Amino acid sequence: MRKGFMLVCDGSNGAGKTTVIAGLEAHLKQRGIEVVMTREPGGTVISEKIREIILDPTTPEMTDMTELMLFGAARAQHVREKIVPALEQGKVVISDRFDAATFSFQHYARGLDLATITTINQLALGDFKPDMNLILDLDPEEGLKRVKSRGEGLDRLEDEKQQFLQRAREGYLVQAENDPQRFTVIDASQTKAQVLEQSIALLDSLIAKHFPAGVSD
């Protein structure tokens, strides 16, 4: 039985997911709530190995369908091995990206058939869904500037053209518009403090909903 809840932090590249996720983790620990931090693709030994293949910038020959199926395989392992057991134990799961990213990048950006993506995702997830998707929205051009300012190399998806990243951004916004109960969009062009404050407010609303008996502060 699912006792905890899952919050996904997703959105544009360079939008500040790492900062927000670290702040959410600290807030949960401060409130005495056990939290499991994870990411997609990844989260388990098998899924992390698949992640290396997906993001490897030296494999430009990877086909779109191969990419989609690799994401599905990594997610299937991730959900069953790590996420569901944590939720059954009453823990909060915070994930850096999840299935909304697949619809944004593989359907809206790459143009893969929506029915095919839905089928692969359903095979990976079964009837599982995260409780909330927090979307950090940022113009892709600004996001790329932030990513490059880190001084690190770009992975295979970060190195895509601006048009690709813009379509992915639009994909997130369409999903949020179509399912406002499970998506919350935050303007990531605000200051880090503002973005984190709004993210924590969302997290606290989820805590109040899923732990009505209260938690120790």
Q: Which residue do the tokens 């989609």 mark? A: 68
Q: What is the pLDDT of residue 106?
A: 94
Q: Which residues of the chain carry a pLDDT beneath 50?
A: 216-217
Q: Measure the CA–CA gap between 192 and 3, rounded to whole angstroms.
A: 31
Q: What is the pLDDT of residue 160?
A: 60
Q: Measure the CA–CA gap between 190 and 78, rounded to whole angstroms.
A: 32
Q: Listing from the earlier edge strand, what are the strands of the sheet with 5-11?
A: 35-39, 92-96, 5-11, 132-137, 183-187
- Cis bond before residue 41 (omega within 30° of 0): yes
Q: Measure the CA–CA gap between 94 and 92, rounded to whole angstroms.
A: 7
Tell me what percent of the chain is helix, strand and coil, each rounded to the nearest 5: 55, 15, 30
Domains assigned to the chain: 5-211 (3.40.50.300)
Q: Which residue do the tokens 């359907």 mark? A: 107
Q: What is the pLDDT of residue 141?
A: 86
Q: What is the pLDDT of residue 13?
A: 84
Q: What is the pLDDT of residue 217?
A: 45
- 69: CB partners within 8 A, 6+ apart: 120
Backbone angles phi, psi at 39, to 5 degrees: -155, 165
Q: What is the pLDDT of residue 12?
A: 87
Question: In terms of DSSP H, where are the helices of the chain?
Answer: 17-30, 45-55, 64-78, 84-88, 99-102, 114-125, 140-149, 162-178, 192-210
pLDDT in tens, 143-182: 888 777 776 665 556 556 778 889 999 999 999 999 999 9
